[in-house]
């Protein structure tokens, strides 16, 4: 049975029913209190009532923090994910109560975060919210509404072809400005990424002890694909590695700090719409342009399928004119 009592200017409803934990809700008007009590008891009688009172005590930001502190540390990419979850917490969407969070809030957040970011990155941030919500329901047993607010959000179309690489002039300009940067390792990191096709995380985890300077083979530990990977290094890459041998780690720097200096360098060099990760595309493209086979490129890049690797190819019909004449 529901008990309705008046306290000061508010009406408090308490419902105790077998099979459900006691629930309490407060209203400004008695008529609303009576209506909610009747509707709730009817749903309880039909075994259709869902208790979302826990959700009233949480904002989306609270869920993000719990996911960041409990789930993220168990992941391989915990540093990158922690950075992105902390970025999410800066937006207004994180301050919204879980019972009030609706689709239009997600669309507003999507619009805000879209500036300067590519479709794939935007989709990932929306997916983070989706994942956090599902994690809270399943693992934290927080009584959230059944419909995930991100479920019907349309994803932005992701271009499968890697479009952005550097021209020779852009690469030269980027290196020249990097050498003038206050971050002394910037030019070496750019050049190292350009000639090795290594990811930022692989470069910053690389230890000099993982490089055999005699065979010129480097071992990349615990890569994105989950395995160690051996790759050949050019003489120039070995030279850069030896020059940065101040500790075992060659390039010991946090992603956000590096991103600041790299973005600053791109701006000064007038190299626009370019990320550090795009240096990997430059390296892979150069390999294909120099006649490397798919297995050879895949060994260096770590791609496991042709469908992943073909995004980096830029074969033009004019390049095949001479070869097609050689077919007998």
- Residue that the structure tokens 């002039």 belong to: 169
Rounded to 5 degrees, what are φ and ψ at 129? Answer: -60, -45
User: What pLDDT was estimated at residue 21?
Assistant: 72
| Distance (Å) of CA 223 to CA 25, 128, 188, 195, 198 | 51, 22, 21, 18, 10
Q: Count Cβ atoms below 10 Å from residue 289 Cβ, excluding itself.
A: 12
The topology (CATH level 3) of 168-319 is hpI Integrase; Chain A (1.10.443)
Residue 70, Cβ neighbours under 10 Å: how many?
Answer: 12
Residues 230-276 have pLDDT tens digits of 999 999 999 999 999 888 889 999 888 999 999 999 999 999 989 99
CB within 8 Å of 219: residues ≥ 6 apart: 210, 211, 228, 229, 230
How much is the pLDDT for 206? Answer: 92
What's the confidence (pLDDT) of residue 325? 63
Looking at residue 291, what is its pLDDT?
83
Cα distance between residue 230 and residue 219, in whole Å: 5
- CA–CA separation, 132 vs 154, rounded Å? 18
DSSP code, position 94 = G
Q: Where are the domains of the chain?
A: 2-50, 57-138, 168-319
In tens digits, the chain (328 residues) has pLDDT values of 788 888 888 888 888 877 777 777 888 898 898 898 888 788 777 776 666 667 778 999 999 999 999 999 998 778 889 999 999 999 999 999 998 899 999 999 999 998 878 888 899 999 999 999 999 988 987 888 878 999 888 888 776 556 678 999 999 999 999 999 999 999 999 999 999 999 999 999 999 999 999 999 999 887 776 678 899 999 999 999 999 988 888 999 988 899 999 999 999 999 998 999 999 989 998 888 888 888 888 888 888 777 777 776 666 666 556 666 666 5
pLDDT confidence of residue 18: 79
Give 182's DSSP letter.
Answer: S
């Amino acid at each position: 049975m529901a008990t309705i009592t008046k306290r000061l200017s508010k009406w408090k409803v308490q419902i105790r029913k077998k099979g459900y934990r006691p629930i309490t809700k407060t209203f400004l008007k008695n008529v609303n209190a009576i209506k909610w009590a009747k509707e709730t008891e009817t749903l309880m009688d039909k075994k259709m009532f869902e208790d979302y009172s826990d959700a009233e005590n949480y904002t989306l930001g609270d869920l993000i923090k719990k996911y960041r502190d409990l789930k993220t540390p168990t992941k391989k990419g915990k540093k990158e994910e922690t950075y992105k979850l902390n970025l999410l917490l800066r937006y207004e969407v994180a301050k919204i109560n879980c019972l009030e969070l609706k689709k239009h809030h997600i669309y507003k957040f999507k619009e805000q975060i879209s500036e300067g970011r590519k479709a794939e990155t935007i989709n990932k941030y929306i997916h983070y919210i989706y994942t956090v919500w599902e994690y809270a329901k399943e693992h934290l047993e927080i009584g959230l509404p059944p419909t995930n607010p991100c479920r019907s959000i349309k994803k932005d179309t992701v271009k499968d072809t890697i479009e952005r690489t550097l021209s020779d002039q852009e690469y030269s300009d980027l290196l020249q400005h990097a050498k003038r940067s206050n971050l002394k390792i910037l030019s070496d990191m750019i050049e190292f990424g350009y000639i090795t096709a290594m990811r930022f995380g692989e470069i910053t985890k690389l230890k000099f002890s993982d490089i055999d300077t005699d065979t010129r083979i480097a071992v990349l530990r615990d890569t994105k694909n989950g395995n160690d990977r051996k790759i050949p290094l050019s003489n120039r890459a070995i030279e850069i590695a030896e020059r940065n041998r101040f500790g075992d780690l060659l390039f010991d720097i946090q992603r956000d700090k590096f991103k600041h200096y790299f973005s600053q360098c791109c701006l000064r060099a007038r190299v626009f719409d370019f990320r550090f990760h795009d240096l990997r595309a430059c390296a892979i493209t150069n390999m294909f342009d120099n006649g490397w086979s798919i297995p050879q490129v895949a060994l260096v890049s770590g791609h496991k399928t042709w469908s992943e690797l073909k995004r980096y190819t830029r074969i033009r019909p004019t390049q095949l004119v001479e070869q097609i004449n050689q077919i007998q």
